[in-house]
Amino acid sequence: MEADQLTHSFATHAILHHRHSLEGDWKKANEQIEIINSLYERIKKAQAREKLLNLTDSTHLEVAALAATYSMTYNPDKCLAKMRELELLNIPHISTAAKYAIQNWKNKEWFID
């Protein structure tokens, strides 16, 4: 799968993850995260992290949030700015996740490379 397809799949599964989270179906949400983790590893191997970073500008805020999460070590300045923006929007799941992502980064408790 080429880089554009990988990032497109990442976005699709980010949307599904958010949908399942809002529905309270944590089993399906966790399944999506497993797929996203696998896609992220493939994105890194394809040297397509810049394409993933570009998803932080997505109009789908759930995509932007996960792209920023997975791109934090790649471009912390841009990703932290996106997380701060998302935190202020008070969107269920997204804003809370952004808040904790910022805290974890500041506390050097970041485990996504």
**What does the pLDDT look like over 21-72, one tens digit per residue?**
999 999 999 999 999 999 999 999 999 999 999 999 999 999 999 999 999 9
Check if the beta carbon of residue 67 is closer than 8 Å to that of residue 55. yes
Query: Has residue 34 been placed in a domain?
Result: yes
pLDDT band at 113 (very low <50, low <70, confident <90, very high): confident
Question: In which domain, by residue range, is 81 found?
Answer: 3-106
The residue-averaged pLDDT of 93-109 equals 94
Q: Is residue 37 in some structural domain?
A: yes
Q: Which residues contact 89 (CB under 8 A, 6 or more apart)?
A: 61, 95
Query: In which band, very low, low, confident or very high, does the pLDDT at 17 lie, cut at 50, 70 and 90?
Result: very high
Counted domains in the chain: 1
Asked if the structure places residue 112 within a domain, the reply is: no
CATH code of the domain in which 83 resides? 1.25.40.70
Residue 111, domain member (yes or no): no
In a domain, 98, yes or no: yes
pLDDT at 83 over 80: yes
